[in-house]
Amino acid sequence: MRSRAMSVAGFITVSWCLYSLAHAEIGISLGGVWTVSDDDRGISVPGQVPGSMYTALLDNKVIEDPLYRDNDVKLAWIGNENWTYTRYFNVDNSVWSSQSILLVAEGLDTIATVYINEIKIGRSENMFVRNTFDVKSAVKPGNNSIKVVFESAVGFAAKQAQKIPYTIPPECPSQVQNGQCHVNLIRKEQCSFSWDWGPSFPTQGIWKPIYLVAFNSAVIEDATVDAFQDGNSWNMDVHVFFNVVTSGTVTGQLDIRLNDTNVLVSKNVTLSPSSNDTSITVSIPQSVGIKRWWPNGYGNQSLYDVLITFTADVTKEVSSVQRRIGFRTIELIQKNVSSDPNHGLTFFVRVNGIPIFLKGSNWIPADSFQERITKERLRLLLQSAADAHMNSMRVWGGGVFESEDFYDLADELGILIWQDMMFSVAMYPTTSDFLNSVTQELRYQIRRLMHRPSILLWAGSNENEKALRQNWFGTSSNYTLYYNDFITLYVKTVMAVVQQENPRRQYLSSSPSNGLDSEREGFVAQDPDSELYGDIHFYDYLMNQWKPDNFRIPRMATEYGIQAWCNVRTLQDVFEEADMSYCSAQADHRQHHRGGSVEMSAEILLHLDLPKQGDQQQYFRNYIYLTQINQAMSIKTQSEHYRRYQSKLLPDGRGLTMGALYWQLNDIWQAPTWASIDYSGRWKMLHYYALKFFNPLLVSPVLVGNNLQVHIVADEIPIMEVQDPSTHQLRFEPVTLYSDLVYSEVDRDDVPNLLSKTVHAVEGLLTVEIYSWKKFQPLASWSVSYKLNTTAEVVFERDVNSMLTEAGCKNTECFLFVYINNQIDGTNNWLSFADIKDSSVQKAQIAITDVTQVSEHEFTITLASNSIAPFVWLEAGDTMGRFSDNGFLMMQPKVSVQFYAWQDVDLHSLRSALSVKSVMDIYS
């Protein structure tokens, strides 16, 4: 039931005292050590909960590291077995005498039947739901047993395939993945049956907390908070869901407090099992002075705790939950780009009135075993994303709805989350049982997550609209059947739940999609990858990815990528010395993308030679280095291409590109993948390049025919949307920085913060230089002052041949270097006029001449070189950390970089671990 909106007028407290209430309902955690057993094999070991059978077996030395060599295949038997979790727990009289006792299992993976004292109390077939079982009649005073019997997800999925009267493709993954079949028929982490970047480990286990709750009246089960703006006022829609005793009614008082403010609202409620929810709209007076939440790079991530407390009248039981929220407006803008309807629609995100170019990447599960993912590990990955100026990330639909820790960090760091639902690259069944399970899953997950300011939008699936339309799985033979399934699942089920639970947040039926145009075409567009609508995913592994005019010009790119091997030191954790060879069976085993190794070599050969033959292990190390160069340069080229088009609309309607999220941020194992950070947390060269191509101020040179164009892109300019009344063309213009327009769009408290970051980007001095590969001094130099009118502009353009003539060099002898304001400390970039393999790059003698300690975890490393050197690569051995720059072009005889250690390390140890090379070192 819902109540009318309530103002906080009359409910504002005058006291600033600390407000805290202890829970009066009784909870018993059932986490900790259980017995994990497989009766068929006679295995019984202690195992931690939360956990899985794999880590239980590993901790007890029944198996070795599942990620070691080809253990994913050798240990496949584990996923084919049925595993049982058992333990004993004590129930004292105070618990047993309670009117209601519930068993809450926040996550059972996946096919599970639960028994207490050998009495079956429930079953779950969905990894993504929270199960609540009434166990009052099953528990007894004193000692009790609990047993969770898991059925092999592999076996259960195979049985489901036999029950469905037609094929739901794909039935199995590519053979090279060494995976399992029919994962799309069950509600389980899809990539746990393998993917083209990860192994197959079909886990079973209690993967989230499990506990008992005992009470005599009612307790809060869920609470959602939806902060929104109405005019100049902020409001919160608060919806509270209760577990209520099975007999009679319960009355009590519900209190809503916005911590660190004087906002407090109270409401008397009457609850019963059939009427077990209530809602309140809280209007927050402007005098409270709410501060907005901003994406990374645009302002502060102001967060507020909302404390929701229920006190029962008769029993005086107290139940409370807390939700941390942020106040911001967020819109997905889809409007005509011009008066020509064939030119399509915009597709961009506006936060707090300001259009945001989404700079980011895609997220996959950080481990095959969720219990191994700590908050510290998540912080390393997400902080690395924020450090590279990312303001957004897409949680991919083949993994899991991520942990509270993950979303806490996204909220704190200002990373907008494009949240896929967990459906990916497959068709899915639409049986009543499946749809009912999905509905339960989505209600739980949306209620769990919708209060978070970082959640940007909900997307129904990953690539399933595109897969259906483009006949990836042979569905054209019965297109109507699979189309109807698509509509039943993503529109009639998923969208319906989203619109009911979280109507203010945008829903897209898939990614990629054409957004509103897909809806107009019945949710499956003729071309779901159109450049004129929505978002695209782009992959082409054999084209020249260092040449920007090969790329498309979409409204937004939410996936694009290219493979590279993980760092050598990371690979050594799971390879024997003999495996460290390009031709080894283990190197081949790790490549789960069919043809991937050939594609990487072909891409390298477009620009660089393969390493000098000789020692196989050294060859492999050098080859790994080259794959990382190619990956970094390819994604750099594509990302800069998208950023250059954010303010440009072409005559054919393409342009106004407002997002670049490359595939992918992180790894799930040690292998060749698309990630920019490998499984150990070490940055690959790509992530160092992201520091620059996602920099708020970008200088980007590009060859267009015989012309050199130098673009400057400044995402941090506060911009507004303007409709030209004469042409109806949409354009972006910078807001006059000190005008009232700024203050009408953003909070006054945030404006100085914005201005300090943006004024420097509006105007400056661009210098363009041509260097010989053989000299540290430029052969020719040009300078131009600029003042930006939009967020991306060409500020320098000249004929390349005339520039080379003026410099007195051939294109194979020279390269271009550009910078803003200051050559050493300013924003800079470079461009080779010819492929490196065809250029006169010399072998440089590079040495580490000095290492000094700046602070406990920061060190300065000084390098010296006798020649200009491209792709200078530093490594720190076993010491975990990152450099301020890496994979860079060394332009001076002496340069310094910082090393930020993620662990305690002394100066001597770090100095001994450091090594450096550049690209010509691998050819000698």
- Provide the annotated active-site residues: 463, 559
Which residues have CB under 8 Å from 17's CB, separation 6+? none
Helices 616-644 and 685-693 pack at an angle, to 10 degrees, of 20
Q: For residue 408, give the nearest of 323, 528, 491, 506 by alpha carbon.
A: 323
What residue type is 145 in one-letter code?
S
Residues 440 and 444: their CA atoms lie apart, in Å, by 6
The answer to whether the beta carbons of residues 804 and 797 sit under 8 Å apart is no
Residues 631 and 626: their CA atoms lie apart, in Å, by 9
Helices 616-644 and 596-607 pack at an angle, to 10 degrees, of 80
239's tokens: 């919806």
Q: What does the DSSP assignment read for 783-801?
A: EEEEE-SSSEEEEEEEEHH
> What residues are paired with 152 via a beta bridge?
none
Please name the residue that has the structure tokens 């010009």: 553
DSSP E strands, 80-141: 84-91, 100-105, 108-109, 111-116, 119-124, 131-134
Which residues have CB under 8 Å from 651's CB, separation 6+? none
Please name the residue that has the structure tokens 């400056």: 764
Residues 530 and 450: their CA atoms lie apart, in Å, by 30
Q: For residue 614, which phi and psi values (nearest 5 degrees)?
A: 155, -130
Helical segments of 735-861, H only? 740-745, 751-762, 800-807
Give long-range contacts, CB 8 A cutoff, 24+ apart: 799-802: 799/706, 799/707, 799/708, 800/703, 800/706, 800/707, 800/708, 800/833, 801/706
Residues 532 and 71: their CA atoms lie apart, in Å, by 46
Cα Rg, the chain, nearest whole Å: 29
Helices 404-413 and 375-387 pack at an angle, to 10 degrees, of 30
Give long-range contacts, CB 8 A cutoff, 24+ apart: 897-902: 897/860, 897/861, 897/863, 898/854, 898/858, 898/859, 898/860, 898/861, 899/858, 899/859, 899/860, 899/861, 899/874, 900/857, 900/858, 901/857, 901/858, 901/859, 902/380, 902/681, 902/857
Number of neighbouring beta carbons within 10 Å of residue 532: 22
Burial class (CB in 10 A: 0-12, 13-18, 19+), 364: buried
CA-CA distances (angstroms) from residue 687 to 385, 504, 669?
8, 34, 17
DSSP state of 340: -
The answer to whether the beta carbons of residues 672 and 597 sit under 8 Å apart is yes
Helical segments of 309-403, H only? 375-387
The answer to whether the beta carbons of residues 569 and 875 sit under 8 Å apart is yes
Q: How far apart are the first and last CA of the chain?
A: 76
421's tokens: 């639902």
Residues 534 and 337: their CA atoms lie apart, in Å, by 13
Residues 780 and 392: their CA atoms lie apart, in Å, by 40
Length of the chain: 924
> What residues are paired with 84 via a beta bridge?
37, 149
